Copies of this chain bind each other. A is one copy, B any other.
Amino acid sequence: MKELGSKVWAIPAGRIPPDSTGREPEFNSRDELCLLNATGEEANLEITIFYADRDPVGPYTLKVEACRVRNVRFNDLIDPEAIPMGIDYAAVVESDVPIVAQHVRFDSRRAEDSMFGSLGFAGDG
């Protein structure tokens, strides 16, 4: 399945909920980036974070091994710098092999959680 996915993905609606309720870590509020590399080659990713009022920050580098998934919480992206909580951001993910990327938000600020899951926008072309 060496062509399953896209080499460029955009996640436009980032915002890490700043508070949480419930047991850690499974009920922590978060933005997750869910990545599938269904190819036979390791994927080398460069993630750029865009903000409303300052220049983009990056690249955040990440590997996804061949035939593996990798689930990253955006607040674990700390090099070159952490993403502030509670503010709007977007992520552009570039990979050297095709991958599939989904954005899942889990918001537990008010005891009973809410969530959404949205595929990224596949920008390959």
Contacts and interface: CB of A to CB of B under 8 A. Distances in A.
Interface in A1-37: 1, 3-5, 8, 10, 12-15, 22, 26-27, 32, 34-36
Interface in A54-99: 55-56, 67-71, 86, 88-90, 92
A121 B118 contact: no
Contacts of A112: 110-112, 114
By size class, the interface of chain A is: 35 or more
**A interface SS class:** strand
Given A102-B118, A112-B114, A121-B100, A13 B34 contact: yes
Contacts of A13: 32, 34, 71, 102, 104, 117
